[in-house]
Amino acid sequence: MKNIILSTLLLFSFLQINAQYTFSHTKEIDCTEIKNQSRTGTCWSFATSSYIESELMRQGKGQHDLSEMFVVRNIYQDKANNYVLRQGKANFSQGSLSHDLIRIMDAKGVMPESVYSGLLPGESNHNHSEMEAGLKGFLDGILKSKSLSKKWKPAFNSILDNYIGQAPTSFNYNGKEYTATSLRDQLGLKAADYVSITSFTHHPFDRSFILEIPDNYSNGSFKNVPLEELVKITDKAIEKGYTVAWDGDVSEKGFDAKQGIAVLPKDPKREDLFTAPGEEIKVNQDLRQEHFESYNTTDDHLMHIVGKAKDQAGNEYYIIKNSWGEISDYKGYLYMSKAYFEMKTVAIMVHKDML
């Protein structure tokens, strides 16, 4: 796997020769290959699955391709129960967060992609648009009843079965028979090893709080630290060979996955915005908070930080693995400037050792 990653990185270097942006990699951490979430809002599962796959590689447990849709299916069920118990006054959508995958891993286990892909025979791309509409329509329909029967859960699951297939109760993987929970235990995956971290001033630092964003339907807690510490934790993790799960805003004019660049330009109308380095906004805690409270920074997308780089002017970037397929000259990866990270990061997930 390492040879595949290094070959990809060498390709990056070749492509950069003809670009005005020239990146030199200062740290590269092994990760699995780029995937495509296609027409789904399940970036959280793709990013966090990729993160866990890198964790397994870092721990010397080999390369594994984990099923994103096994977790997604379980989250749909969990969200449905939450939605019904709250009588429709809750979020039911495709989005979730990294800690939701960790919760499902802890409760239900993990499954290989080869065993459960969430694709029916003849399908090659994920598309949950119709399924989500059908699931929510079903839930809204039964909520009109004054008294619910026990039939709604199996009926809900039958919709999932018809769109993304049934998940097996046991399976053969690498010559051994497993259940999802026994594979989790065999791989030594523990929810307690992973911590969600954020940086906002409307709650005290050095404490945990429930982050008020729509996709935090499960009321997950985040450790709150000053911005400077958030950056230090991220940099320390990368320097020590740990990757980082990233959650943030990708709606800025300086973000373009097809160009493979995420920057926070002082002048967003620059003609060379995606072709050459330029001056960026100086970010501080107050400005970051202002952007969050004004909805200029929202919880849009989750990705996976797998290294660091510098441009020809010496500016620092994070190497980001996306889940939108092999787009851009960087084959699905992109370079995020430190300024963009400081302003637009909603939260990160790291191994507890980084604290």
d(CA 315, CA 279): 10
Q: Collapse the DSSP code of 102 into the 3-class scheme (helix H, G, I; strand E, B; otherwise coil) and give the result.
A: helix
At 242-285, the pLDDT tens digits run 999 999 999 999 999 999 999 999 999 999 999 999 999 999 99
pLDDT above 90 coverage of the chain, percent: 93
> Is the pTM above the cut of 0.85?
yes
On whether the CB atoms of residues 338 and 317 are closer than 8 A, the answer is yes
Instruction: Name the helix (H) or strand (E) containing 255.
Output: strand 255-256
Listed in sequence order, the residues at least 6 apart from 134 whose beta carbon sits closer than 8 Å to its beta carbon are 159, 163
In the predicted structure, residue 216 carries a pLDDT above the cut 50: yes
Listed in sequence order, the residues at least 6 apart from 220 whose beta carbon sits closer than 8 Å to its beta carbon are 97, 99, 100, 103, 196, 210, 211
At 20-72, the pLDDT tens digits run 899 999 999 999 999 999 999 999 999 999 999 999 999 999 999 999 999 99
CA of 78: how far to CAs of 46, 82, 191, in Å?
18, 6, 17
d(CA 318, CA 222): 22
d(CA 115, CA 87): 35
7 pLDDT band, cuts 50/70/90, is low
Q: Which domains does the chain have, with CATH numbers?
A: 1-30+191-355 (3.90.70.10), 37-189 (3.90.70.10)
d(CA 111, CA 118): 11
